[in-house]
Amino acid sequence: MNICSVVVHARLAAAEGVRARLLAFPGVEVHGESAGRLVVTVEHAERAVVSEALMEFHNIDGVLSSALIYEFCDDAEAADAPPHATRESIPQEVSP
């Protein structure tokens, strides 16, 4: 499961329309709004769906900006993934 928290800043006059467009995305909830700033969560099993939604927020008419505040990922693939690469784990070129 992937959950992201986002603050979407919209033009005040467009805030209601932005809210409606955000709610059309799968897994999106709007938890609050104040002065054109909307507190949004995106929840979906597929990380790609969440990523695409976050990118599309910028294309909504009336959106000035959106900022990812928090991301949580809890899936079996992440648990089985190898650790991040370190200098020692990167193969070094061997001189002839």
Rounded to two decimals, the pTM is: 0.74
Residue 85 lies in a domain: no
pLDDT in tens, 42-88: 998 888 888 899 999 999 999 999 999 999 987 655 555 555 544 44
Q: In the chain, how many domains are there?
A: 1
Residue 79 lies in a domain: no
Domain span at 67: 2-74
Residue 66 lies in a domain: yes
Residue 80 lies in a domain: no
CATH of residue 19: 3.30.70.920
The Cα 62–Cα 92 span in angstroms is 50
pLDDT in tens, 30-50: 999 999 999 999 998 888 888
Burial of 8 (0-12, 13-18, 19+ CB in 10 A): buried
